[in-house]
Amino acid sequence: MKIGFLQFEPLFCQVESNLDKLSSMIEKAPDFDLLVLPELANSGYVFSSKSELVKASEIIPDGIFVEKLSEITKSRNSVIVCGICEKKGADFYNSSVLIGPDGFIGKYQKIHLFDREKLFFQPGNGPLISYEVKGMKIGMLVCFDWIFPEATRVLALEGIDILAHSANLVLPYSQTVMLARSIENRIFTITSNRTGTEKNGGIELTFTGQSQITSPKMELLASTGVDTEEIKIVEIDIELARNKWLNERNNVLLDRRSKMYSKLLK
């Protein structure tokens, strides 16, 4: 199984240009089964008004991003996860879409919004579920969801092999924490982060790249620089993520003492 990330710099509110760039990068990429793209890949990140969101967002699955990415996944018999600025009625969601060889499969609406995202997006309601496609069980999270161990854990309990983590990270913590998410759940994780600096309405953010892939054994399988634009694909043995046994007596999911965790739901 070949899985990877695409790291690039989306340009703010330049939806068509972003789509052209992604398409061109993917066209040149080697074979892959699953490719993860950054958060808000259609729109960019530093919003200062709702009118910008109106301009840069799309309805899922009827927008041009999902349409074009579906063409790609159909022609390449592959799966893509991509962060999308979603418009739904009068509301906006920081979403991720899963698109397979037969087109659109499902979406995830980010449940833990970061900082000023709370000014523009509605908090999503997931769902935190596993999608099975091309022999892979895939779960989606977006960026700041990384800090809540519960989110990845729920997906692991739902059966995912691979966490597709689309991100627009500015801080340097997620990469280390994803190693923990990998081993504590015995899953692969793919973090696709963006690069570049955006300045708008008095706010300036620099995104820190360093996209990466981690294994159930807490290995860093691939990573890239802070400002490179590239696709990296690695070959994995997905069975590794289906064996939750650490040794003959310990299983990371079956050994959970859930009766002692009731505080988690309060």
- Residues 6 or more apart from 68 whose CB is under 8 A from it? 19, 23
Q: Which is nearer to its own copies, 158 or 227 (CB)?
A: 158
Q: How far apart are CA 83 and CA 159, in angstroms?
A: 22
Smallest gap from residue 160 Cβ to its own copies (A) = 12
Q: How far apart are CA 194 and CA 227, in angstroms?
A: 8
Q: Which is nearer to its own copies, 74 or 244 (CB)?
A: 244
Smallest gap from residue 242 Cβ to its own copies (A) = 18
Class of residue 261 by CB neighbours under 10 A (exposed 0-12, middle 13-18, buried 19+): exposed
Q: Which is nearer to its own copies, 234 or 246 (CB)?
A: 246
Locate tokens 């400002």: which residue? 227
Cα 222 to Cα 36, 61, 87, 172, 192, distances in angstroms: 13, 31, 33, 17, 11
Q: How far apart are CA 207 and CA 198, in angstroms?
A: 8
Q: Which is nearer to its own copies, 106 or 126 (CB)?
A: 126
CA 228 to chain CA centroid, nearest Å: 18
Strands (E), the chain: 2-7, 34-36, 79-88, 91-100, 103-109, 131-133, 136-142, 162-166, 188-192, 195-200, 203-208, 212-214, 220-223, 230-235
Smallest gap from residue 72 Cβ to its own copies (A) = 31
Active site residues: 39, 110, 143
Task: State the residues that interact with its own copies by CB under 8 A.
Answer: 111-112, 114-116, 118, 123, 125-126, 128, 144, 147-151, 153-154, 157-158, 173, 176-177, 179-181, 183-184, 218, 246-250, 252, 255-266
Q: Which is nearer to its own copies, 78 or 122 (CB)?
A: 122
Q: How far apart are CA 88 and CA 20, in angstroms?
A: 24
Smallest gap from residue 259 Cβ to its own copies (A) = 8
Q: Which is nearer to its own copies, 87 or 181 (CB)?
A: 181
Smallest gap from residue 203 Cβ to its own copies (A) = 12
Q: How far apart are CA 132 and CA 121, in angstroms?
A: 28
| Sign of the C-alpha dihedral computed for residues 98, 80, 18 and 229 taken in this order | positive
Smallest gap from residue 147 Cβ to its own copies (A) = 5
